[in-house]
Amino acid sequence: MITSSALNHLVARKQNHNHVNEELFTPIIARLESIKQLTELEKVFKLNLPDGISLGHRPGQFVEVSSLGIGEAPISISSSPSRSNGSFEMCVRKVGDVTSALHNLEVGDTMGIRGPYGRGFPYEKFRGKDILFAPGGLGLAPLRSLINQVLDERALYGRVIILYGARNPSELLFKDELKEWGERDDVELHLTVDRGDESWTGHIGVITTLFPQISVYPRNTVAITVGPPVMYRFVLMELLGKGISEGNIWMSLERHMKCGVGKCGHCQINHIYACQSGPAFSYAEIKGLEEAL
Ligand SMILES: Cc1cc2nc3c(=O)[nH]c(=O)nc-3n(C[C@H](O)[C@H](O)[C@H](O)COP(=O)(O)OP(=O)(O)OC[C@H]3O[C@@H](n4cnc5c(N)ncnc54)[C@H](O)[C@@H]3O)c2cc1C
Ligand code: FES
């Protein structure tokens, strides 16, 4: 028989559990400070949280963004902590209901934010090393956070190499920043597009065709790649072929996510919840989970 004190304890635990869950799933309202159209499908949103509070994120983390009455979507934080100043940025590709609703917003409008979630990239461990960034397409959105963090503490790293590929010149993201990075003499930037146009005088080919252009000192190099799943397999082959160790190759896995906090199981890959253990993983951590790539 259950005693009344045990019953009270159970009720209290249940109420506490519900309270914790409610808090977990209650978004904070963020206000749009600016919107920039980057390409036909992508916009960058700069957001402020109430009372100027900081999001307190790490590069590679994401937030759950909600549009009232429509739903939520996980979106990476694209600005670096080193440049937060009470605001943060996200680059959103318009693909469906939530992202289209976000694209319809105007400066001054609001959206719900939960997070930041995930563990991000352990960039403190990358200090002292050469860093090879290999984003593809929209993968530059999350990697831009880490790239700018590294550039803002540039003296702490060795070489910085960026290999970036998009399907065509009009789909290259953050063109202003690409120009700035290309003009720095402490950044080695190599761009490519799968298909050129009349304005394009640069390299043509998928991102892996850039690898023969660079040489690396594998024992002192950390590589970080973020892009569409189809890209990972081939980029991984190139990175391993250059002798970079599995523990020094990092990537971000985009799973279908719902809760973002390890409760719903949507993002589960075998024993791993990508929303909590990732989405940033070293290859050594996820090797063997081939269906995730
Ligand atoms: C950790 C993480 C970080 C992400 N970062 C970004 C980002 O920085 N910028 C960005 O534009 N997008 C990002 N995405 C993808 C983004 O979450 C989806 O495009 C978004 O959820 C689609 O919602 P929707 O309602 O607009 O589209 P829907 O109407 O739900 O679906 C439209 C299309 O998007 C696909 N899709 C739906 N939900 C997801 C999902 N959770 N993950 C992947 N694909 C999905 C569907 O299969 C369908 O093809 C990220 C996803 C994850 C998991
Ligand atoms: S998104 Fe719900 S458990 Fe990861």
Whose alpha carbon is nearest atom 4 of ligand 1? 75
Q: Which atom of ligand 1 is nearest to the CA of 90?
A: 8
Indicate the domain borders of the chain.
25-117, 123-252
Per-residue pLDDT band for 11 (boundaries 50, 70, 90) equals very low
- The protein residue whose alpha carbon is closest to atom 9 in ligand 1 is 92
What would the pLDDT profile of 20-59 be if each residue is shown by its tens digit?
Answer: 456 667 889 999 999 999 999 999 999 999 988 899 999 9
Tokens of 119: 């563990």
Q: How far is the CA of 263 from the centre of ligand 2 (A)?
A: 5
**Residue 277 above 90 pLDDT?**
no
Report the 3 state secondary structure along 153-174: CHHHCCCEEEEEEECCHHHCCC
The CB of 102 under 6 Å from ligand 1? The reply is no
Task: Look at 69 and 25; give whichever has higher pLDDT.
Answer: 69
CATH number of 25-117: 2.40.30.10
pTM of the model: 0.90
**Which ligand is nearest the CA of 62, by number?**
1
The bound ligand whose nearest atom lies closest to the alpha carbon of 264 is 2
How far apart are the C-alpha atoms of 162 and 264, rounded to whole Å? 36
Euclidean distance between CA atoms 90 and 79, whole angstroms: 7
Cβ(101)–Cβ(88) below 8 Å: no
| Entry field: residues in the chain | 293
* pLDDT for res 1: 46
CATH of 123-252, one of 3.30.390.30, 3.50.30.60, 1.10.565.10, 3.40.50.80: 3.40.50.80
Tell me how far apart the alpha carbons of residues 259 and 264 are, in angstroms, rounded to a whole number. Answer: 6
The whole-number pLDDT of residue 194 equals 95
User: Probe ligand 1: pick from 92, 99, 121, max atoms within 8 Å of CB?
Assistant: 99
DSSP E strands: which ranges in the chain?
Answer: 28-37, 42-48, 62-67, 71-76, 87-93, 110-117, 130-135, 160-166, 188-193, 203-204, 221-226, 249-252, 268-269, 272-273, 280-282
Residue 10: which pLDDT band, with cuts at 50, 70 and 90? Answer: very low
Closest protein CA for atom 50 of ligand 1: 75
- Provide, rounded to the nearest whole percent, the portion of the chain with pLDDT above 70: 90
> Is the C-beta atom of 96 inside 6 A of ligand 1?
yes
Residue 279 CB–ligand 1 contact under 6 Å: yes
Kindly report, residue by residue over 90-118, the tens digit of the pLDDT. 999 999 999 999 999 999 999 999 999 99
Cβ count within 10 A of residue 200? 16
Q: Which residue has the higher pLDDT, 52 or 290?
A: 52
The 10s digit of each residue's pLDDT in 235-253 is 999 999 999 999 999 999 8
Fold agreement between 25-117 and 123-252 = no
Q: Kindly state if the Cβ of 227 falls inside 6 Å of ligand 1.
A: no
